Structure 1
């Protein structure tokens, strides 16, 4: 039975979502503020976190950042806001997805299932990808560049894995979205550009003149091997 930590200060929402999730076979633990959420995260050891943004004590942004320091467990942000700045910030600090209130039970369950499926499929793989100067461990979800470990978010890791698995292959934004976010992606295609920029800032010597994660004009992106940079 998968365990979900539900972090929401509205008791009415907690009650209704808890009933829904339990009916679908999930074990649910609730937290009503940010401090309680972090304490229960360590004790409950959830498989997924549903995290509201507007919380007492510590807000959802801070809770998300604290969780990401110790775990890669999937986090879906719950927000009453529909502003792009909120979505971009949530993704940047490590959230795996977001859903805007009000949402339907069907939509929430679909998001949960999709995020868990992607996360579990990664855990089942036991291989490494080596493409000098990069080394990726798909089980430990670690990345080393020139022997030095680099801390990537879930989607940064997935995008790098996609590109590095097929050196020289050009991936369009739509192709990347389909592989990383899935068919039910509701955001803007330029979200890919944002993640590519963040990724370059972490793995390239000069992000403004990338050598490995290369833009193919009017098409998309590709991973260029070190041998091509000589």
Structure 2
């Protein structure tokens, strides 16, 4: 049985091949693109299970590809960047990336990151469960969120973060607890990215105080009135 289909998009042909060879040895099925335009074409068909997307590429950049994919789908995306700039990393996460790696990186860590992202976005069949908070409805089985009857477009990580708190809305979760419950395996720097995901989630929800910050502790979800 074939493993997950992974699209590797990077203008460095040699690096692409090295990644592809390693991932193939780890049981994945890699395909390659060397421009943003090629990456979008291969994302359309055959729709991969995950994208490994370089930040800088000729023509359409990785950020352009990220925006376009997120506008239309929740395909998991890991961004690669040569710049160790926290602002760049946070921008990628805010635009909907599920994770990032700074070059140079180890192939072993990349494979582990891919497994972690796929693990949290490919959860097994869930029992039908819908949580209703006033005008906010969270369908845990269908991985869908609606507000005032309108479906919201959340990334897999954003949905996981919301779902974790929705099960125990008044419980205060620390960043570490949210990271472990929603994101899974620990990697250095993940804890700081929770704030970025929360900020993005708040904007999509039109928050209005739904997600409250408990100073010095973490976050909690407060059901809307009505």
What TM-score, normalized to structure 2? 0.90
Which residue of structure 1 aligns with residue 214 of structure 2? 216
C-alpha RMSD over aligned residues: 1.9
SS of aligned partner of 2:56: coil
Question: Which of these residues, 7, 18, 21, is aligned with residue 19 of structure 1?
Answer: 21
Q: 1:205 to 1:11 in 2, by over 3 A?
A: closer
The CA deviation string for residues 142-191 of structure 1, in whole angstroms up to 9 with x for no partner, is 21123222222322221111111112111111111222233322216343
Higher RCO by CA contacts (8 Å cutoff, separation 6 or greater): 2
Unaligned runs of 5+ in 1: none
Distance 1:27 1:65 in 2: 24
Which residue of structure 1 aligns with residue 129 of structure 2? 128
Question: Which of these residues, 37, 40, 64, is aligned with residue 39 of structure 2?
Answer: 37
SS of aligned partner of 1:44: coil
Q: Which runs of 4+ in 1 moved over 4 A?
A: none
Which residue of structure 1 aligns with residue 108 of structure 2? 106
User: How far 1:127 sits from its partner (Å)?
Assistant: 2.7
Which residue of structure 2 aligns with residue 173 of structure 1? 175
Distance 2:140 2:111 in 1: 27
Distance 1:20 1:29 in 2: 12
Distance 1:16 1:196 in 2: 35
User: How far 1:139 sits from its partner (Å)?
Assistant: 4.3
User: How far 1:23 sits from its partner (Å)?
Assistant: 1.3
The CA deviation string for residues 102-130 of structure 1, in whole angstroms up to 9 with x for no partner, is 11121111111111111111x53253332
Unaligned runs of 5+ in 2: none
Which residue of structure 2 aligns with residue 68 of structure 1? 70
Contact 2:137–2:145 under 8 Å retained in 1: yes
